[in-house]
Amino acid sequence: MKILAIETSCDDTGIAILEILGDKKSPDFKILANIIASQVEIGKKYGGVYPMMAKREHEKNLVPTLQTALREANVLEKDINLIAVTNGPGLEPCLWVGVNFAKDLAKKWNVPLIQVNHIESHILVNFLPQAVIPTKAGIQFPAIALVVSGGHTQLILLKKIGSYKILGETRDDAAGECFDKCAKILGLSYPGGPIISKLAKKTDRLPMSIQLPRPMINTKDYDFSFSGLKTAVLYYHQKQDKKTQKSKKYITEMCAEIQQAIIDVLIKKTIKSVKDYKAKTIILGGGVSANAELRKQFLEKFENVIFPKPELSTDNAVMTAITGYFHRKKTVAWEKIQADANLRIGK
C-alpha cells in the first residue's frame, strides 16, 4: 500500500509518501518521498513563528509540495491507498490548512483518510527501520518516550503502540522553546536549538564560570519547567557589560551551560521514570532530540535508547505516514476530521 501524509502543525509544510510491501508481520517500508517546504528563513527574519504568517505559507506551499512529492515518488494520484494528516496538537490555524487540504484530496481522490497525533508521530517514527540507527535490543515494552520539541516536553509510558500514559510534562515552556528564547536573548538567530548546539561545541567548558539553575530537577514528579531557566539567562546576560555580551568566550560558555542545564533535567527525569516503570527502552523524539550532545549523554546513561536520525527528529511527514500505517484500520469519514490544537496522546 502507499500512504500519502501531510504535516502542517507548526512552520514546516511536510508531505511524504511511504510504500509498505510484505505482510503485516514483516512489513517492508520504503520512503518514496519526504518533501519539506521550510519556513526557517521567515522565522529567522521575524525571530520566531507567527501562526497566521505560517498558515499563509502552508497555503502557498501545499500544492507545489504535493506535486514535488508525487513526482519524486513517481506515483499517480490513483496509486495512493490512504491519506494521513496531522490534526493536532500544534498551531490551530496551521493544522486547519493541512486538515482541509487532506479532506479535499480524500474527497476528490476517493481515498480513506486518517488523523494522526503529532506527538505520537514523533514517537512512532522510531519504529521505521530507515529512520533510526537500530539498537541491538530493538524496541521493547514497556518503553518510556521523551518527546522534546518546540511546543512540547512530555514523558510518556508506552505499554504498546497505541497505549500511552503521559507521566509528566512541562508546566510552562517546552525545551525547544527554551533553546529558542535563550538564543534570542543572546542575540543569536532562529531556531535557537541548532545554533546553541553548534556554539556549545566550541568550548571545553572548563573552567565554567556560568552556573544556571536546573529547574525542578529534584522534584518527585515527572514534570518539567523551563521558563525559569530562560529568565535566569536573561538576568545573567543583562548583568554583563556590552563587551562581554558580544565576546565569543562568553557566548560559547553560555550556550554550553544552557544546553547542559536542559540535558541534565531531561536525563534526571527520564532516569526516574525508567526506574519507576521498569522501562526496557527509551525512545526519543521531537526537534530537540536532534541535539548531538543530548544523544551522546543519553547513550552514556541508558543501555537501550533509540532516536530518529536528526532530519526525522524535527517535523516531517514521514512520521505522520508511519503513524497512519499503524492505525490504518481507524480511518474516519473525511467530513468528521477536525483540527485540535490541544490534542493529547493519553491521559
88 binds, among Zn ion, ligand KG4, none (CB under 5 to 8 A by kind): none
Q: Give the shortest CB-278-to-ligand KG4 separation in angstroms.
A: 28
Please name the residues in contact with 275: beta carbons below 8 A apart, sequence gap of 6 or more. none
Q: For residues 281 and 291, which CB has a smaller minimum distance to ligand KG4 in the complex?
A: 291
193 binds, among Zn ion, ligand KG4, none (CB under 5 to 8 A by kind): ligand KG4
43 binds, among Zn ion, ligand KG4, none (CB under 5 to 8 A by kind): none
Q: Give the shortest CB-291-to-ligand KG4 separation in angstroms.
A: 3
**Piece of the chain touching Zn ion by CB under 5 A; list 97-105, 132-140, 144-152, 203-211:** 144-152
Q: For residues 93 and 151, which CB has a smaller minimum distance to ligand KG4 in the complex?
A: 151
Q: Bridge-partner residues for 4, per DSSP?
A: 17, 83
288 binds, among Zn ion, ligand KG4, none (CB under 5 to 8 A by kind): ligand KG4
Q: For residues 305 and 317, which CB has a smaller minimum distance to Zn ion in the complex?
A: 317
Q: Give the shortest CB-117-to-Zn ion separation in angstroms.
A: 11
Q: Bridge-partner residues for 143, per DSSP?
A: 158, 281
29 binds, among Zn ion, ligand KG4, none (CB under 5 to 8 A by kind): none
Please name the residues in contact with 197: beta carbons below 8 A apart, sequence gap of 6 or more. 255, 259, 291, 292, 293
- Cα torsion 322, 325, 327, 328 to 10°: value is 160
Q: Where do we find the cell 521531537?
A: 286
Segment 298 to 327, residues that bind Zn ion, using CB under 5 A: 315
Q: Give the shortest CB-60-to-Zn ion separation in angstroms.
A: 21
d(CA 337, CA 316): 20
d(CA 65, CA 58): 10
290: nearest Cα among 310, 272, 316: 310
Q: Give the shortest CB-341-to-ligand KG4 separation in angstroms.
A: 12
* CA 168 to chain CA centroid, nearest Å: 17
Q: Give the shortest CB-110-to-ligand KG4 separation in angstroms.
A: 31
316 binds, among Zn ion, ligand KG4, none (CB under 5 to 8 A by kind): none
Q: Which residue is nearest to Zn ion (CB)?
A: 149
- In the complex, the residues that contact ligand KG4 under the rule CB under 6 A are 10, 149-151, 176-177, 179-180, 191-194, 197, 286-288, 290-291, 314-315
Which set of grid coordinates corresponds to residue 187?
542575540
Q: For residues 125 and 256, which CB has a smaller minimum distance to Zn ion in the complex?
A: 125
d(CA 130, CA 126): 9
Please name the residues in contact with 241: beta carbons below 8 A apart, sequence gap of 6 or more. none
Q: Where do we find the cell 484500520?
A: 329
149 binds Zn ion, rule: CB under 5 A: yes
C-beta of residue 168 within 8 angstroms of C-beta of residue 221 = yes
d(CA 12, CA 43): 11
Chain contacts with Zn ion (rule: CB under 5 A):
149, 315
